[in-house]
Amino acid sequence: MFPSRAFSLAPLVVQSFACSMAMMAFAALVGPIGRTVGLSPWQMGTVVTLSGMAWVLAAPLWGRASDRLGRRPVLLTGIMGFALSYLVLCLFIAWSLRTLPAEGLILLGLVLARSVGGVFFAAVPAASVALIADHVPAERRTRAMATMGMANGASMVIGPAVVGLMAPWGIEAPLLVICLLPLLAAGVLWWRVPHAAPVSGTTSLPPPRLQDPRLRLPLLAAFASMASVAVAQVVVGFYVIDRLALSPQQGAQAAGMVLATVGVSLVLTQALVRHLSMSPVWLIRWGAICAALGFLAAGMASSVPLLCVGYGVAAMGMGMIWPSVSVLAAGAVEAHEQGAAAGAIAAAQGLGTVVGPLLGTGIYALQASGPYWLVATVMAAVAIFAQNTPKNGGME
């Protein structure tokens, strides 16, 4: 039998670090991979978009399943499925880079592997956030979510750094190393996440929609912030190659440097957020303003250091928004709805990863800086919406 274990945030922090590092490594290499195998920006954007669509469709189902079946079974199923699909993705990329098969075959393989990964990974944030809401008092949730965000940010420092250091040995080299991390995270979760009965009195929230007065602001902020990040991630590899005239290998190193800057900024910002007593609505409002300014700066960057500055400022904003979104949503619903609420937020984030790459790569084909102007406008709109939202998010 399994030992009985008390709840600890540590295994969730390990999972957040490992999975984020894996995804950021892929994001840093999207442009160089596409250029090497002959796929255009819109084709690589399609890969990201379809995996995001799989996330959107699966997240509410996983969230409700965690209410019915318990957090542990859903969390373990999701992390194991993601770990195996990411391993297949990395091996397929390595094979494609070495053999250069037909573009259609490469595109199909990337879409399938990423989409399967999206279906399974959708369970991980939904069950993780619900698990935190089950065990962490409301007044400490912002601190807990910021701790998770710090692990995410640390992975964004180390992941791109590994990409940059290993890029001289080939574009596939970092992926073949980092693909083992989700498997490690799965083992840690299996060993450390406690067994617990499903929450009693389960009911289901409706599918995520902005009209829901309880979740309107967190859903909007989750969608807009993730769409903006997806745009920034999918275009940075192409931007440094096309706008800054770098080679694919130099582009991989530059994109890694930019995303590492994002990670440092996220870690520092969320370390600060852990000690702030500001309301989630306040943090979302000022975080959106900060992100908008950062994306504007990125769109005007003419060198890698200036691009790092823009991304770093934008990441400061995201470091304020992301923990606040989960805390605001968790505080808006009842105990038996935590999984459904977390699934709704995850679905909104997934929808952002669907819409963002499509718009971003489409606009990039017309104007290299266009995607940055777009996401700056989107985040400014979020700030205006938050400004007109009560401090408590509209809840009594």
- Residue 65: name the closest of 139, 133, 126, 147 by CA: 126
Nearest 5°: the CA angle 391, 393, 396 is 90
Place of tokens 């205006």: 384
Residues 6+ apart with CB under 8 A from 296: 310, 372, 373, 376
Decide: helix, strand or coil at residue 209. coil
Alpha helices by DSSP H, 300-336:
304-332
Distance CA 256, CA 156 (A): 9
DSSP string, 4-47: P----SHHHHHHHHHHHHHHHHHHHHHHHHHHHHT--HHHHHHH
Residues 6+ apart with CB under 8 A from 391: 279, 281, 282
* 315 DSSP 8-state letter: H
Query: For the chain, first and last CA: distance in Å?
Result: 45
- pLDDT value at residue 392: 54
Could you give the count of Cα atoms lying within 13 Å of 332 in the half-sphere of its Cβ?
Answer: 27
Distance CA 39, CA 104 (A): 9
Q: Which two tokens stand for residue 101?
A: 């098969």
Q: Which two tokens stand for residue 277?
A: 């007593």
DSSP string, 336-366: GGHHHHHHHHHHHHHHHHHHHHHHHHHHHTT
Looking at the chain, how many residues does it have?
Answer: 396
- pLDDT value at residue 311: 95
Segment 307-310 long-range contacts (CB within 8 Å, at least 24 positions apart) = 307/236, 307/239, 307/240, 307/244, 307/254, 307/258, 308/257, 308/258, 308/261, 309/261, 310/372
* 393 DSSP 8-state letter: T
Place of tokens 């979302």: 284
- pLDDT value at residue 207: 44
Phi, psi for 39 (deg, rounded to 5): -95, 140
Q: Which two tokens stand for residue 162?
A: 């590994």
Distance CA 321, CA 294 (A): 14
Spell out the domain ranges in the chain: 11-192+207-387
Beta-carbon count within 10 A of 134 CB: 16
Q: Which two tokens stand for residue 248?
A: 């694919």
Would you state the torsion angle of the CA atoms of residues 189, 23, 228, 222, taken in this order, to the nearest 10 degrees? -10
- Residue 379: name the closest of 293, 311, 277, 259 by CA: 293
Distance CA 65, CA 339 (A): 8
**Tens digits of pLDDT across the chain (396 residues):** 444 567 888 899 899 888 888 887 787 787 788 888 888 877 887 887 788 788 888 888 888 888 888 889 999 999 999 999 999 999 999 899 888 888 889 999 999 999 999 899 888 888 888 888 888 887 787 778 778 877 777 776 777 677 777 777 877 788 888 888 899 999 999 988 887 766 655 444 444 444 567 788 999 999 999 899 888 987 888 888 888 878 777 877 788 788 778 878 888 898 888 887 788 899 999 999 999 999 999 999 989 999 999 999 999 999 999 888 888 887 777 766 777 777 778 778 778 877 887 788 888 888 888 999 999 999 999 999 998 877 655 443
Decide: helix, strand or coil at residue 102. coil
- pLDDT value at residue 85: 94
- pLDDT value at residue 19: 87
Topology annotation, domain 11-192+207-387 = Growth Hormone; Chain: A; (1.20.1250)
Note whether 340 and 333 are within 8 A (CB): yes
Distance CA 77, CA 324 (A): 27
